Amino acid sequence: MSRSVRYKRHRFPPEIIAHAVWLYFRFPLSLRLVEEMLLERGILVSYETVRRWALKFGPDYARRLKRKKPSRRDIWHLDEVVGLRRKSEAGARKEQVFVTRSHGEHVKLLRE
């Protein structure tokens, strides 16, 4: 049974709380870095408030971030680049290099 997130009796709008918690759980940021990032956007909030939000709303956000698994219906594009590079500095021999990269909903380097 999923419990909905409740933002009643909070000073900041739900969008700001959601963005702060998302930043903290999505990227390897400290609470103070999240505080600085919000301050750059003109939002004055302490790292302790971000910590409280992370404790209260974090499990739900973390669960939603982990729930998204790639499926066969996701859109993927495949880029292939063939290039030549010198095998050694002194030699004039060249070898072919294949660089394959897929991108779409998730960017990932497959082979270099």
pLDDT of 13 over the 60 cut? yes
pLDDT of 73 over the 80 cut? no
What SS3 string covers 84-110?
A: EEECCCCCCCEEEEEEEEEEECCCEEE
Q: Which residues contact 29 (CB under 8 A, 6 or more apart)?
A: 23, 37
**Quick check: pTM over 0.85?**
no
At 14-51, the pLDDT tens digits run 999 999 998 998 888 999 999 999 999 999 999 999 99
pLDDT band with cut points at 50, 70 and 90 for residue 1: very low
| Bridge partners, residue 105, by sequence | none
What are the residue ranges spanned by the domains of the chain? 14-67, 76-111
Which strands sit side by side in the sheet containing 94-104, from one edge to the other? Answer: 76-86, 94-104, 108-111
Question: Which residue is associated with the tokens 């750059």?
Answer: 40
pLDDT of 107 over the 50 cut? no
Sign of CA dihedral 8, 9, 12, 18: negative
